[in-house]
Amino acid sequence: MGFLSPPRRFLFGPGPTQIEPRVYEAMAKPVVGYLDPFFFQVNEEVRAGLQQVFGTQNDFTLAISGTGSAGMETAVSNFVDPGTKFLVFSAGYFAERIAEMGRRHGATVIRFEKPWGDVFTEAEAREAIERERPQVAAFVHAETSTGALQPPQAISRPAHEAGALVIGDCVTSLGAAPIRVDESGIDMAFSCTQKGLSCPPGLSPFTVSPRAMERLQARKNPNRVWYLDLKLLSEYYGVQHRYHHTAPVSSFYALREGLAAILDEGVEKRFERHARVHAEFVRRVEAMGLRMHVATPSHRIPNLNTVCVPEGVDDALVRRALLADHGIEIAGGFGPLAGKIFRIGMMGPLATPAGLDQFFGAFEKCLVTASAPAVRM
């Protein structure tokens, strides 16, 4: 077979995104055992770093083994039981995945649906919550399928007034955009490592509010998903260190190093950098005569831009040319947005003025090559 030799790529898609070089170096360090004191030291550093990027003092903050969907299923399986009234605010693909998990766990799922790209106002959320009286509500903070950023308090405020817990999918926002879990009232937030944290996929950062911890402690029946049972996981990662599963040690090294890079830069400075790059991205897109899919600027995810595909342009051809000629990966739309949007991530080491120049230099060329002759200048 010889040695593995992946192609050189610039990951300007929604994820996985470009990885910090020091993260790769950390992954090559020697593996220790899953009960080694060094592993638990790394785990404590991971937990402390995650508290900072989540913006929380929640003691129950850890990394679940598995990708973002494992975090999603952790939230659903520990807090949504057969018969639970589960209200899902759905304006995109990933909210639908949460609803599907709720169904599989036997919940009574109610979907409050809006078009892909919209967000929910507090008045809309309050009306739905007062009507349905759910025990648990869920929303996607940064809906990767549409580019829309949902203000969390619009949902958490009315949900808490009605006594409901709130699940927030922060898979695309963590590490690049402020979430401020404690202020925003999210009770169970989950994320991934391969987007705003600039690490490879493999772990799902997770945090639980004290309010949700009380609900968890009061559970009578064990979680049906043994692997994602937070009570069992807390016995492994907590003081008892009781074996639960073989933690993916190299992934923890990677996350520890990715978080260290973020803390070295400064969490707020990193958010500001992504916001500045986003503003410049939008300015350049509009200067090209293109439109952003999400109309309201404050409702756009700062690290994942969705740009409308112009008339006469085949988005698949543009993506293919970007990859083949420039080694640049971006993504297209799917579901109702198939063929209609480009999804372009500006994250981590690529969220810089040089990253913008590199991307736009290639994008402008590929748009011309992929345009129908009538559209070509």
Ligand X SMILES: Cc1ncc(COP(=O)(O)O)c(C=O)c1O
- Residues forming contacts to ligand X in the complex (CB under 6 A) are 15, 67-69, 72, 94, 140, 144, 169, 171-172, 192, 201
Q: Give the residue nearest to ligand X (CB).
A: 68
Least distance in Å: CB of 58 to ligand X? 20
Q: How far apart are CA 72 and CA 224, in angstroms?
A: 15
Give Cα 325 to chain centroid, integer Å: 29
Nearer to ligand X by Cβ, of 153 and 172: the residue is: 172
Nearer to ligand X by Cβ, of 49 and 68: the residue is: 68
Structure tokens given for 283: 């300015």
The residue among 351, 301, 315 whose CA lies nearest residue 94 is 301
Least distance in Å: CB of 361 to ligand X? 27
Least distance in Å: CB of 331 to ligand X? 10
Least distance in Å: CB of 296 to ligand X? 19
Q: Which amino acid is at 256?
A: R
Cβ atoms of 255 and 193 closer than 8 Å: yes
Q: 308 forms bridges with which residues in the sheet?
A: 341
Nearer to ligand X by Cβ, of 144 and 207: the residue is: 144
Nearer to ligand X by Cβ, of 23 and 321: the residue is: 23
How big is the chain by its Cα radius of gyration, in Å?
21
Least distance in Å: CB of 38 to ligand X? 27
Q: How far apart are CA 123 and CA 296, in angstroms?
A: 18
Nearer to ligand X by Cβ, of 140 and 188: the residue is: 140
- Is the Cα torsion angle 126, 128, 132, 134 positive or negative in sign? negative
Nearer to ligand X by Cβ, of 167 and 292: the residue is: 167
Q: How far apart are CA 144 and CA 91, in angstroms?
A: 11
Least distance in Å: CB of 15 to ligand X? 6
